[in-house]
Structure 1
Amino acid sequence: MKILDTRLSGVKRIQPAVHEDERGYFLETFQALRYHQMLGLAQPFVQDNCSHSRHGVLRGLHFQARHPQGKLLRVAHGEIFDVVVDLRTESATYAQWEGAVLSDRNHEQLWIPPGFAHGFVVLSESADVTYQCTDYYQSQDEVCLRWDDPDLAIAWPIGNPVLSSKDCAGLTLAELRALGRLPRVVQSP
């Protein structure tokens, strides 16, 4: 397993060891001790989620304000362009974003610590995305950062994505900051 830094502090790309032969492949998607030792994951995962989406669907950019979630994410089927935005106001990379192509072919995982907005757009015909969370989903606490916030200038690879009504109503980072709706995260040193 290889851990790759991104330009956003704390966000990691994970390349698991994949064992392939004529039958197919095997890979370990999580092992508590190894992920703790290599990534410093101390919080337990309390919830697993899976989404299925068709080509062009954009989900995000979501986060929870009072109960921020860390997420360990991977694509079980298909291909996505995954985006995280640093919302930690004290971070050197505050208001910066990182994008990565994740797929069932490259098997990469993404570790997103608490304090980030997250979203993705489906590049393949369809995609199944699975992720483990360090806190429970709380609908009343969910916030949506506008996917096309001009101040963020995210380079989404698909124009005119398919959006939910919730994602269409997302707020810009400036609006969220003015409303005091950014995640409350204590950053480790």
Structure 2
Amino acid sequence: MKCKNLDVNKLKVSCEPYIIDTPIEGVFAVKRPRYGDSRGSFQELLRIPDISKRFQETQIDQSQISVSKVNVLRGIHAEPRDKIITPILGRMAAVVVDLRVESPTFKMWVRFDFDNTNPENEFTTLFVPSGCGNSLCVYKKSDDAGDGTVIYHYTYSSIYDPKWSGSGVRYNDPQLDIIWPIKNPVLSNRDKELPLLDEFIVKYR
């Protein structure tokens, strides 16, 4: 099951709580206004109470920064915890997959295309609820400046548990049939060995 790609730089929202819904329940983007002058700019990313009112209670227990080089693909990871993702620098596609077997949109995916190569672009934050898988793929256009490196910020609703290391689905699972921006991505050994969807359901659902 597929969903149309979403170019986050074209998403517009003009009032509180600045939340943009997607076809997958509980998956949404937050795009709060950015304010700038000759000194630089300021942008609030999100407010946890807005998420709690919109979907479910959540919290932040872990925060981290990740750096990925061009052509790297990470995921699809599906640890049982909420995730808040904010790309900071570079160009990437973030794919979120509904892996909740009881969900009416089970196996549906949404691809968000981020262009943070221009420091003037507003930041967009994604909320990914527990039960959904997330992944990212770094790519570079011919006219992009720099080496294509992507920096993004993650927060989680619980601390990572090593027993979750195999909780995910292989990026090229034929049932999902995700359209990625590149071919032959660079994968970690862990991601190469992630199960296909049917095996994931048996093990983790």
Same fold flag (TM > 0.5): yes
Q: Sort the TM-score into its range (normalised by shorter chain).
A: 0.7 to 0.9
Do residues 146 (structure 1) and 161 (structure 2) align?
no
What are the within-5 Å matches in structure 2 for residues 170-181 of structure 1?
170-177=194-201, 179-181=202-204
In the TM superposition, residue 20 of structure 1 has moved relative to its aligned partner by: 2.2
Task: Tell me the amino acid that sits aligned with residue 81 of structure 1.
Answer: A
What are the within-5 Å matches in structure 2 for residues 160-179 of structure 1?
160-177=184-201, 179=202
In the TM superposition, residue 33 of structure 1 has moved relative to its aligned partner by: 3.7
8 Å contact kept, 2:74–2:136: yes
In the TM superposition, residue 80 of structure 1 has moved relative to its aligned partner by: 1.2
Higher strand fraction (1 or 2) = 1
CA distance in 1, matches of 2:30, 2:139: 20
Do residues 8 (structure 1) and 24 (structure 2) align?
yes
8 Å contact kept, 2:32–2:46: no
Task: Tell me the amino acid that sits aligned with residue 145 of structure 1.
Answer: V
In the TM superposition, residue 118 of structure 1 has moved relative to its aligned partner by: 0.7
In the TM superposition, residue 112 of structure 1 has moved relative to its aligned partner by: 0.5
Distance change in 2, residues 1:32/1:97 (3 Å):
closer
Q: Which runs of 5+ in 2 are unaligned?
A: 1-16, 141-147
Percent of pairs identical after alignment? 30
The equivalent of 1:122 in structure 2 is: 138
What are the within-5 Å matches in structure 2 for residues 96-135 of structure 1?
96-104=108-116, 105-124=121-140, 125-135=148-158
CA distance in 1, matches of 2:67, 2:106: 30
8 Å contact kept, 1:74–1:102: no
Matched residues, number: 177
Q: TM-score, normalised by structure 1?
A: 0.87
One of 89, 104, 110 as aligned partner of 2:101: 89
Q: Which secondary structure state, in structure 1, belongs to the residue aligned with residue 200 of structure 2?
A: helix
CA distance in 1, matches of 2:99, 2:51: 24
The equivalent of 1:42 in structure 2 is: 57
Cα distance per residue 1:138-160 (max 9 Å; x no partner)? 11123131000011000001111
Which one is further off, 130-139 or 103-112?
A: 103-112
Cα distance per residue 1:87-132 (max 9 Å; x no partner)? 1111000011111012433411111011011100012400111111
Displaced runs of 4 or more, over 3 A = 30-37
In the TM superposition, residue 25 of structure 1 has moved relative to its aligned partner by: 1.6
One of 82, 86, 89 as aligned partner of 1:70: 82
CA distance in 2, matches of 1:32, 1:116: 19
CA distance in 2, matches of 1:33, 1:63: 24
Cα distance per residue 1:17-52 (max 9 Å; x no partner)? 111223322101233344444x34522110002110
In the TM superposition, residue 62 of structure 1 has moved relative to its aligned partner by: 0.6
8 Å contact kept, 1:144–1:166: no
CA distance in 2, matches of 1:166, 1:154: 19
Distance change in 2, residues 1:30/1:3 (3 Å):
closer
8 Å contact kept, 2:45–2:123: no
The equivalent of 2:3 in structure 1 is: none
8 Å contact kept, 1:70–1:134: yes
Distance change in 2, residues 1:34/1:6 (3 Å):
closer
CA distance in 2, matches of 1:33, 1:9: 18
